[in-house]
Structure 1
Amino acid sequence: MCIIFFKFDPRPASKNAYRLVLAANRDEFYNRPSKAADFWPNNSDVLSGLDLEEGKEGGSWLGINKRGKLAALTNYLEGRPNPEAQGRGFLVPNFLTDHQDSYSYLKKVSTEGHLYNGFNLLTAEFRAKDDTMCYYGNRGSAEPIHLKAAGIYGLSNSLLETPWNKLQQGKRHFTSVVDQGLPCDSLVQELIKLLNNEELNTPDPAQESQGEGYSGRMLQALSAVCVRTPSYGTRANTIILVDAAGNVTFTERTMLNCDVSQWSTNTFQFKLQED
């Protein structure tokens, strides 16, 4: 499970405004082997965390490259996933290393959507002349959609903008933070605080109905923006900022040693390459 809040503004009115503000949590089993976000050793243009689970090595949940391509993935909450399905984590690195545009890539993925368990995939391109952001969920419409309107969006483990309590609560908080016009460092810190809100948002009949097959205790834990159980929960917070001039700030706060009291924070900054 994961959650993503983002403000997309392809034509910001101010030079100090952001074309993208994205705040995301990665929820996973604490002992699943992963590599913290970094530029790839074999492709220094790509920045992401990486899955190291046997058989799924090289998959990812969120990443960006220096050419302005970004991808983010969440799973779709469903009770009986197919253990033989293809690994969803490769959908992110495949886009970041592919030359297809956002919509074309998702159109191709949509023809193969039946091969995967439920997922949501955001793809974006931040270019000198035009920014594009698209979405596809294989449990929703057969066609990808362009996010043509500037605005604030939320994506959890149902389709884009599904009004689960946790999504609505987090989106309100996210909106109040980004509307303050904070400087970069303060904005990052406030968004990390938002992502670590463990308040439960129950009851939520919509989430509970979709999660049929999960225990009541697990569904209750999943109702928080920051998920906490003894063995599963929020393992990484990621903030991505893209400003009007193409400067990118990527901050990841990640759990160490499967211990919810141990964390490491790293920030990467770079300027997008011109077309």
Structure 2
Amino acid sequence: MCIIFFKFDPRPASKNAYRLILAANRDELYNRPSKAADFWGSNNDILSGLDLEFGKEGGSWLGISKRGKLAAITNYLEGRPNPDAHGRGSLVSNYLMDRDVDSYSYLKKVSTESHLFNGFNLITAEFKAKQDVVCYYGNRGSPEPIRLKPAGIYGLSNSLLDTPWRKMQQGKRQFTSVVNNQALSCDGLVQELLNVLNNEELNAPDLDQERHGEGYTKSMLRALSAVCVRTPHYGTRTNTVILIDAAGNVTFTERTMLNCDTSKWNTSSFQFKLQA
């Protein structure tokens, strides 16, 4: 499971405003092997964390390139996934690596192969000098991808885009309050967004979420009702905040759990400018 909140505005009102503000949690088994966010060794154009699970190596849940391509994925909550399905993380990595395909065309291609994967929601975006585009496709929803309207605030958890689960509504309200605070510095904005992502308050019962989770125990569904999920062996293990300002400067901040220990975390930050 994961959760993502984002706002994009291709024409921010001032030079101090942001074209993109994104805050995301990765929820996973604590012991699933993965690599913390960094620029890829053989391709230092792309910045992301990487899955190291056997058979799923090289997939990612969220990444951005210096060329302005961004992708993020969440799983769709369903009780009986196919163990032989293709790894969903490849959908993020493949988009980031493809220099020629645009965000909408990529999702059109993915939609023709969507039956090969368990349920997912995929965001693809391009941030370029002339135009910013953000697109969405979920393989348990409409057969066609959609282009998202600018200046909107969106939330994506483990159902379709903006499905009003209680955790989504709570997190989106808090995210909106933070991004509308014009007085925050860049560092202050990052810290406030990390606070949103680390809210462990339960939003249960939630009948809409429970209907999706047939096959899950009631205790697990209760744990999944929080923005920040916490169970003994599974939960939120990565927080990511991405900011792109009006001039194309990117701030990428990742807070990652260390050694499967919920009390030990490391925070890394990367800054770069998008290529023209």
**Residue 192 of structure 1: how far off its partner (Å):** 0.4
Q: Structure 2 matches for 1:57-206, cutoff 5 A?
A: 57-98=57-98, 99-181=100-182, 182-206=184-208
The 2-side partners of 1:270 and 1:13 are apart by 22
Aligned equivalent of 1:208:
210
TM-score normalised by L of structure 2: 0.99
The 2-side partners of 1:36 and 1:237 are apart by 11
5+ long unaligned stretches in structure 2:
none
Aligned residue for 1:190, secondary structure, equals helix
Aligned equivalent of 1:7:
7
Aligned equivalent of 2:53:
53
Q: Structure 2 matches for 1:219-230, cutoff 5 A?
A: 219-230=221-232
Letter in 2 for 1:265: T
TM-score normalised by L of structure 1: 0.99
Question: Percent identical across equivalent pairs?
Answer: 79
Cα distance per residue 1:116-163 (max 9 Å; x no partner) = 000000000000111000000000000000002321000000000000
**Residue 13 of structure 1: how far off its partner (Å):** 1.4
Letter in 1 for 2:131: D
Letter in 2 for 1:43: N
**Residue 261 of structure 1: how far off its partner (Å):** 0.3
Following TM superposition, where does structure 1 have runs of at least 4 consecutive aligned residues deviating by more than 2 angstroms?
none
Q: How many residues align?
A: 274
Cα distance per residue 1:154-183 (max 9 Å; x no partner) = 000000000000000000000000110211
Aligned residue for 2:192, secondary structure, equals helix
Letter in 2 for 1:190: E
The 2-side partners of 1:219 and 1:242 are apart by 34
